[in-house]
Amino acid sequence: MRSKTSYFNPTLFKKNLARFWPLWGGASIIGALFPLYLLALLIHEGRPLLDNRLEATSLYYDALIYAVPAVSLVYGALCALAVWGWLYNTRSVGMYHSLPITRKGLFTTSLLSGLSMMLIPYAVTGTLTILVSLAAGVFEPVGLLVTILGVLGDTFFYFATATLVVFVTGNPFAFAAFYFIFHFLAAFAEWLVSRLMTAFYFGVEAAYGGVVEFLSPTMYLTRMLSAHVEHEELLMPDGWIDRGRSLSVTLVNGWLIAIYALAGAVLLAAAWALYRRRRSESAGEVVAVGWMKPIFRYGVAFCAAIAGGSLLYTLFCRDIFQTGTTASTVPMAVCMAVAGVLGYYIASMLLAKSLQVFRGSAKGVLGTAVAAVAVCCLIAADPWGVEAWVPEAGELESVTARLYGVHGGAAVATLEDPAGIQKILDAQAAVIAERDALERIWGSGLHRSTAQLHLTFRLKEGRSSAVYRYYDIPVSDGEQPEALRVLAALAADPAFQESSIFGDVTVQSRRNLREARLTGGYVDSLYNPETQSYEGLDLTLEQAGALEEAVRRDIQAGNFGRTLFLVSGEEYDRAVSDLHIQLNYALELQDSGPNRDSYVQNETISIGLSTYCTETLKALEDLGVLNEGRKLLTHAEQSALESGEAGVPFEGDYDPNSFPRSGSVVYPGDAYVYPGEEVDAALLH
């Protein structure tokens, strides 16, 4: 007959808190420093640090998004080690399990102890923050409540993951390793596989796609959560729109924390299931769960085969065996097999806690080596057609193409219309078709420069991630590859240049853009022969409007983007200048939130000019911007001036349909959207 089964033991609970008070006490003190610092500033400044309550809410949310996941990740591990650490020592396991308390009682009591230890510092910090907020008059209960719920969710999730890892492992070192592997394995595995594919496939780049990032919650939460602040717009006297006070603050994707908290409950249930089956004698082992040991052994071998194999190949084989940009299969397979076997033995040694693991390992080692070679050959054979994949225009939402010129400079455009997308895809197909020829040029070592085509495909519904392709085209003194001609044609294409220059201020390119209104401009790097210096000039709205029209005419005439793929450096220098036109716009944008509210944002685009932007140069002259005292200076002229020679006026003709070869043909100017990296960031996210 059984009786009296308790699920909570107050003595153990108190003992846990009493034993580890330095942990939660120290964390509380560190946490308390932040509100106390705000209080000190408040006293020092004599006024509230934040203008209104919503700014305080925004501050709460920023803490919830960036600080709480990272802090909880580390602190959760420490708390779990504190309350479950006895599982890692044979003596303490014996004591705890011989006590008159069931494992269920031990589990729930230790769980509550750990959660309490996690929450106490947050509670102390939160309470002090509330007091400081009240003192500063910026207390906002809704934001606070959302933050508290978020902290609770994060805390529960991280402690649950740490608890699960505790029951999988048998010693604290294994715990630390497994815990961080658990949290970052998905991202790491994606990176590993993409690295291997990059090594083998021409043009396939191991850009982090975050396909399985949701399995790495700290990274995912930090990326996905954001505090959206809607500001009042202030129309400034110069026509610029400035940001006023906050009107509302919302936590975007806050529901993800609730999902992770639910996942935490599942993980806790799994932890309990493991504890019920856990053998006390597993204390001290690396992996405490019997059926997980082969998974660990072969998992380590797999990761070692890919990561270590790639490393060995890079260190010892690439310079000897590789002729082009892609890896040689046989050496890579050997490297992967060696690294995989090493990983197998390392894992076996960790599991056995002994160096003597060689006897009887032949079967496992052979299996690992064969599997590593098979994986290598499978990836190298590319049965999925990753390398040759050129998507159909219809399956793409958009393509961002970045063209990097032979002598520097770049053009970035995002195209969404099928016709424009098809032009980019044709260029990609042309490059892929010349793969072997390009690899031969790489192998010959005769190339003196490189042009690049970087593509980012945004796939339509069902596939949310982006796909990347980076192609390097070698440029040598001999006959140039056909791909270079195709890229030159793409660079000068009006649709491409329209997007490249005006993409950020075009309704068709920017989904949330309702209206773009030109507000002014500026011309930079005008050369003054008298002072022999460069100067800038503000443009009136009318001047900016005239220049915008001229730029569009040049785009239509194919005058932009043609210098990118000039092979001759001399001709490039004779065409390109440092002169830039900056056009300022006020953009009316639509919020992506549920209310679809609109807001205004300022945007500036910068357009670099070459001597072949004839329409724009004429407009600059007509507007009096360019004259005897303010000149466009090409790089060649600049060099001549610097060396004391007479200026060499630009001469040349232009045929948009011809391939730029050294001698007679010169392509004027490229342009790029400023700031270019913002385009990239927008695409990535």
Partner 1 sequence: MIQVTNTVKRFDGFAALDGVTLSVPAGSVYGLVGPNGAGKSTLIRCLTGIYRQDEGELTIDGQSVWENEALKSRVAAIADDWYYFPQATIRDMCRFYRGFYPSFSMERYEKCKEVFQIDEKRPLRRLSKGMQKQAAFWLTLSAMPDYLILDEPVDGLDPVMRRQVWSLVLGDVSQRGTTVLVSSHNLRELEDVCDHVGILDHGRVLLERSLAQLQDNMVKLQVVFKDGGGVPEDLEVLHASKVGRIHTLIMRMSAEEATHRLAVYEPMLVDAVPLTLEEIFIYELGGADYAVKDIVL
For partner 1, the binding residues in 568-597 under the rule CB under 8 A are: none
Least distance CB 293 / partner 1 (angstroms): 11
Q: What angle, 0 to 180 degrees and rounded to 10, lies between the N-to-C axes of helices 541-556 and 494-502?
A: 150
Query: In this structure, what are the phi and psi dihedrals at residue 579, rounded to the nearest 5 degrees?
Result: -70, 130
Q: Which is nearer to partner 1, 356 or 531 (CB)?
A: 356
Total binding residues toward partner 1, as defined by CB under 8 A: 32
Q: Quick one: which of 4, 44, 47, 363 contacts partner 1 (CB under 8 A)? A: 4
The distance of closest approach from Cβ of residue 275 to partner 1 in the complex, given in angstroms and rounded to an integer, is 12
359 binds partner 1, rule: CB under 8 A: no
If one asks whether residue 464 binds partner 1 (CB under 8 A), the answer comes out as no
Quote the least distance from Cβ 277 to partner 1, whole Å.
10
Site map (CB under 8 A) of partner 1, residues 100-119, x = contact: xxxxxx--------------
Shortest separation between residue 107's beta carbon and partner 1, angstroms? 12
With CB under 8 A as the contact rule, the residue among 12, 393, 613, 623 that binds partner 1 is 12
- Strand duo 598-610 + 576-590: pairing: antiparallel
Verify binding: residue 353, partner 1, rule CB under 8 A.
Answer: no
Candidates 44, 45, 46, 98: give the one binding partner 1 (CB under 8 A): 98
* In the complex, least distance from residue 397 CB atom to partner 1, rounded to whole angstroms: 56
Order of strands across the sheet that contains 533-539: 533-539, 513-528, 576-590, 598-610
Query: 474 in helix, strand or coil?
Result: strand
* Least distance CB 101 / partner 1 (angstroms): 6
d(CA 496, CA 670): 11
Question: Considering the complex, what minimum distance in angstroms separates the CB of residue 102 from partner 1?
Answer: 5
In the bound complex, what is the minimum distance in angstroms from residue 278's beta carbon to partner 1?
10
Residue 48 · residue 147 · CB < 8 Å: no
Nearest distance in Å: CB 343, partner 1: 23
Binding segment (CB under 8 A) for partner 1, from list 62-70, 131-139, 278-286, 675-683: 278-286
Cite the beta strand spans of 530-662 per DSSP E: 533-539, 576-590, 598-610
6 is a site residue for partner 1 (CB under 8 A): yes
Longest distance between any two alpha carbons in the chain, whole Å:
109
Q: Which is closer to partner 1, CB of 356 or CB of 643?
A: 356
| Residue 47 touching partner 1 (CB under 8 A) | no
Question: Which of 148-156, 256-264, 273-281, 614-622 is the region at the interface with partner 1 (rule: CB under 8 A)?
Answer: 273-281
Assess contact for 308 and 195: CB atoms under 8 A. Answer: no
Which of 15/460 has CB closer to partner 1?
15
Q: CA angle at residue 662 from 656 to 664, to 5 degrees?
A: 60
Q: Tell me if 245 contacts partner 1 by CB under 8 A.
A: no
Nearest distance, CB of residue 331 and partner 1, angstroms: 40
Pair 167, 285: CB distance under 8 Å = no
Please state the closest distance from residue 97 (CB atom) to partner 1, in A: 4
Residues 6 or more apart in contact with residue 613 via CB below 8 angstroms:
551, 554, 559, 560, 668, 669
Rank residues 55 and 285 by Cβ distance to partner 1 and give the closer one: 285
Distant-in-sequence, close-in-space partners of 225: CB < 8 Å, separation ≥ 6: 64, 65, 251, 252, 253, 254, 256, 257
Q: Does 273 bind partner 1 (CB under 8 A)?
A: no
Distance, CA of 599 to CA of 547 (rounded, Å): 27
The least CB distance from residue 3 to partner 1, in Å, is 5
State yes or no: residue 97 binds partner 1 (CB under 8 A): yes
**Rounded distance, CA 94 to CA 86, Å?**
9
Query: Which of 196, 191, 253, 261 lies closest to 224, judged by CA?
Result: 253
Residues 66-95 that bind partner 1 (CB under 8 A): 89-95
What 3 state SS string does 499-550 have?
HHHHHHHCCCCCCCEEEEEEEEEEEEEEEECCCCEEEEEEECHHHHHHHHHH
CA–CA dist 376, 196 (Å, integer): 9
Beta carbon nearer to partner 1, 79 or 455: 79
* b/e map 320-336, b = 16+ CB within 10 Å: eebebbbbbbebbbbbb
CB-nearer residue toward partner 1: 2 or 363: 2
- Structural contact between residues 449 and 475, judged by C-beta atoms closer than 8 angstroms: yes
Q: How far is the CB of 276 from partner 1 (least distance, A)?
A: 9
Q: Read off the amino acid at residue 290.
A: G
From 11-19, 374-382, 394-402, 508-516, give the range in contact with partner 1 by CB under 8 A. 11-19
When the beta carbons of 90 and 323 are compared against partner 1, the nearer one is 90
Question: Does residue 531 touch partner 1 according to CB under 8 A?
Answer: no
Per CB under 8 A, 15 contacts partner 1: yes
Which is nearer to partner 1, 102 or 449 (by Cβ)? 102
- Least gap, CB of 297 to partner 1 (angstroms): 15
Count how many residues are written for the chain.
685
From 12-20, 123-131, 160-168, 357-365, span contacting partner 1 (CB under 8 A): 12-20
For residue 8, state whether it binds partner 1 (rule: CB under 8 A): no
Position 355 contacts partner 1 (CB under 8 A): no
Q: Give dist(CA 78, CA 152) in Å, integer.
A: 17
Complex with partner 1: residue 113 or 129, whichever CB lies closer: 113
Our finding on whether 279 is near partner 1 (CB under 8 A) is: yes
CB of 78 to partner 1, least distance (A): 17
Q: Which two tokens stand for residue 122?
A: 């947050």
Phi-psi category of 57—alpha, beta or left, where left has phi over 0 and alpha has psi -120 to 50? Answer: alpha
Binding residues among 280-319 for partner 1 as defined by CB under 8 A: 280-281
Q: Which is nearer to partner 1, 171 or 634 (CB)?
A: 171
SS3 for 591?
Answer: coil
**C-beta closer to partner 1: residue 108 or 480:** 108
Looking at beta carbons only, is 167 or 650 nearer to partner 1?
A: 167
Question: Which residues make Cβ contacts (< 8 Å) with residue 140, sequence separation at least 6?
Answer: 53, 54, 56, 57, 60, 133
Part in contact with partner 1 (CB under 8 A); list of ranges 96-104, 256-264, 306-314, 396-404: 96-104
Cβ-based nearer residue to partner 1, 9 or 563: 9
User: What is the per-residue binding string for partner 1 in 18-37, x denoting contact by CB under 8 A?
Assistant: -x------------------
Query: What is the separation, in whole angstroms, between the first and last Cα of the chain?
Result: 62
Nearer to partner 1, 279 or 514 (CB): 279
Share of the chain residues as helix, strand and coil, in percent rounded to the nearest 5:
55, 15, 25
CB 336 within 8 Å of CB 373: yes
Backbone φ and ψ of 234, nearest 5°: -115, 125
CB of 94 to partner 1, least distance (A): 5
Report yes or no: 230 and 170 within 8 Å, Cβ to Cβ.
no
Give the interface with partner 1 as residue ranges (CB under 8 A). 1-6, 9-12, 14-15, 19, 89-95, 97-105, 279-281
